[in-house]
Structure 1
């Protein structure tokens, strides 16, 4: 964050200076104009202050949550309204730079107002605006008994961010309503502490699947993002979190494989510990997980970070048919309308949301069930993925 902070502030101030031209066209009160810039000054001061708050502390988490919401409310409406002014400036260039048209400034502020309301919905209601996303994937070598086999995938719960029990239960009820054969959870049950799940154990234990519930760890589950009083305390926290998986009825897979049987046929479910590029720990060991798995087995892999797919899975000596990941959250901010899918996270992760294919190997990246940092979601709504495996003719 510190490395990108100057660029973020420059982009923010640049958009503000440009947007301010529309404000000045319509607002002639010096007091209101001073208030406009005072809000920005306070937010920038808050961002810089957060850097010096103890890392991983509750104070830092609370400050980041509030600042992210306020930043988006202040920044997004202005940034996405600026193109209206830019189009006007192109025409003004050929008209000898006349004064800005009042109606264009009114349109700009009107657009900003609409976007403000959308962002406001996202940070107040979007955190539990769960959506079911369905994908049907065809495989020529899928065992016949598993034709139509259904998987409900959830990921990135981040239970330490939850406060609304009714909202969380709405999402869990939606998972159960899918009545899938298995429920797979692909990591980040907590933000840092295993104790964050204590309140939510009964609710998550209520998840039901005919053929079992399975899980893996995500990068946040290891407690790597906070300072512990000792290495023993950190180890005890992880040990407790592993027990929590058992208490909510999930079998935690730590670089291992399980066989799911149906009508004398089977598929193999693999689960690896977190492995990620870009400074994330590479705990996962796919070779260990597949050591005793037959080459011709149909394989579904749970791996929290989608960068593992191109970094390891595609080049693995065994064919991994389907990989399920999370981690990106779709950045909890973006646009998915009329076939358009965009989020700033696409500039960080090549595979960041939805279904991807490389030959006969598939990756599905879930947008996440919970939230972190920003206490909400804007456009990238929390997700329950339902994936149906179908047998196709080779």
Structure 2
């Protein structure tokens, strides 16, 4: 992590130095030049302050959210300037280094302004720009009664970050409009505390599905990322959070499975507690959750963190046909256009958004309903997933 942070800071300094050249080519006011560097210095001081406070065990979530937003606005628009101005320098080198082209510098500044506008849109409108993503998955051993069975998945509500009631209700209405048979929530109901969800209970209670609503816990639901005055308070918070799931009409699955029955046939829905790589708690117990399942049952797993799929699920003795996860949010920042997708989160998680297939098994990673850290979404929009199960001819 330290090496990655150092690399990002080095890239920041280099890109900033190049962008400043374009800035001074167009803007000749010394006072504005000083303001430019003052803002950069303040941002770097904030980064090092954040690192120091984290090492001291302080609550840094608000500071981190503000810094992430500031870093995006200050740094990301400057990044495209680096290759453009570097290419110009190669041409200038052959020409004896004449002054920079005003036109290229104007283009770089205009591009940066456009990127700033995109970021501002993501921080305001993007947080509730819900997208329905549909997949049709075929299985030869799917019970005939479940041919055409529809599942709606939402994930990562992060109620402690939500503020726009009408925006949230738009997402809930969109989820209900899919008319799915089953509704599944794959964890992170809150940021830290159950109290964050109290005012949203009635809204999320309105989610409907004829075959029921089921859920699992995510890493944020355990209250591990905030200070508690006692272990008892932390434990009671988790108890209350479980009660909220029940009050909203969700059956919370804690390392257990349940049969979904239709016309005399059934499929197994499995839910495990959070299990994650890289320092995240590994409370999930897939063996316990599947201990009572028949070897030939059709199995769908809810597991918040997609890393559980690679590290545990793929090679588990019980065949899990489909795993539904969330957790990554697609980092709430990236590009998804015409089938191409990119986000910095892909350097941390191999499976980070959308559908994946290995060894005859599927994983779907939902991009999240809410947001956390970054107060919005840029390019990676909030998601409602609809998966239709189909019977294929073997």
Asked if TM exceeds 0.5, the reply is yes
Q: Does 1:244 align with 2:244?
A: yes
Superposed counterparts of 1:237-316, under 5 Å? 237-316=237-316
Alpha-carbon spacing, 1:62–1:102, altered in 2? closer, same or farther (3 Å)? same
Distance of 2:217 and 2:262 partners within structure 1: 27
Q: Which range moves more in the overlay, 228-237 or 213-222?
A: 228-237
Q: Which range moves more in the overlay, 64-73 or 159-168?
A: 64-73
Q: Does 1:332 align with 2:332?
A: yes
Distance of 1:226 and 1:334 partners within structure 2: 28
Check the 8 A contact 2:132/2:384 in 1, yes or no. Answer: yes
Q: Which range moves more in the overlay, 179-188 or 89-98?
A: 89-98
CA deviations over 1:29-58 (Å, ceiling 9, x no partner): 11111111111112222233334278574x
Q: Which range moves more in the overlay, 91-100 or 106-115?
A: 91-100
Segments of structure 1 that go 5 or more residues without pairing to the other structure are none
Report the Cα offset of residue 95 of structure 1.
3.0
Distance of 1:3 and 1:304 partners within structure 2: 28
Check the 8 A contact 2:160/2:197 in 1, yes or no. Answer: yes
Report the Cα offset of residue 318 of structure 1.
1.2
CA deviations over 1:265-319 (Å, ceiling 9, x no partner): 1111000000011111110000000000011111000000000001000010011
* Secondary structure at the counterpart of residue 312 of structure 1: helix
Partner of 1:69: 69
* Secondary structure at the counterpart of residue 106 of structure 1: helix
Q: Does 1:20 align with 2:20?
A: yes
Q: Does 1:199 align with 2:199?
A: yes
Distance of 1:324 and 1:10 partners within structure 2: 37
Alpha-carbon spacing, 1:269–1:335, altered in 2? closer, same or farther (3 Å)? same
Distance of 1:319 and 1:330 partners within structure 2: 27
Superposed counterparts of 1:11-160, under 5 Å? 11-51=11-51, 52=53, 57=59, 60-160=60-160
Q: TM-score, normalised by structure 2?
A: 0.96
Distance of 1:6 and 1:74 partners within structure 2: 17
CA deviations over 1:41-76 (Å, ceiling 9, x no partner): 12222233334278574xx33332222212111111
* Secondary structure at the counterpart of residue 362 of structure 1: strand
Distance of 2:12 and 2:31 partners within structure 1: 22
Alpha-carbon spacing, 1:307–1:357, altered in 2? closer, same or farther (3 Å)? same
Report the Cα offset of residue 149 of structure 1.
0.7
Distance of 2:385 and 2:93 partners within structure 1: 50
What is the RMSD computed on CA atoms of the aligned residues?
1.5
Check the 8 A contact 1:64/1:373 in 2, yes or no. Answer: yes
CA deviations over 1:336-363 (Å, ceiling 9, x no partner): 0122100000000000000000031000
Report the Cα offset of residue 4 of structure 1.
4.7
Q: Which range moves more in the overlay, 210-219 or 92-101?
A: 92-101
Alpha-carbon spacing, 1:169–1:333, altered in 2? closer, same or farther (3 Å)? same
Check the 8 A contact 2:18/2:81 in 1, yes or no. Answer: no
* Secondary structure at the counterpart of residue 151 of structure 1: strand
Q: Does 1:353 align with 2:366?
A: no
Check the 8 A contact 1:82/1:108 in 2, yes or no. Answer: no
Report the Cα offset of residue 16 of structure 1.
0.6
Distance of 2:352 and 2:316 partners within structure 1: 21
Q: TM-score, normalised by structure 1?
A: 0.96
Alpha-carbon spacing, 1:371–1:85, altered in 2? closer, same or farther (3 Å)? same
Distance of 2:269 and 2:252 partners within structure 1: 12
* Secondary structure at the counterpart of residue 79 of structure 2: helix
Alpha-carbon spacing, 1:67–1:168, altered in 2? closer, same or farther (3 Å)? same
Distance of 2:370 and 2:90 partners within structure 1: 43
Partner of 1:323: 323
Check the 8 A contact 1:187/1:217 in 2, yes or no. Answer: yes
Segments of structure 2 that go 5 or more residues without pairing to the other structure are none
Q: Which range moves more in the overlay, 204-213 or 64-73?
A: 64-73
Distance of 2:262 and 2:292 partners within structure 1: 20
Q: Does 1:217 align with 2:256?
A: no
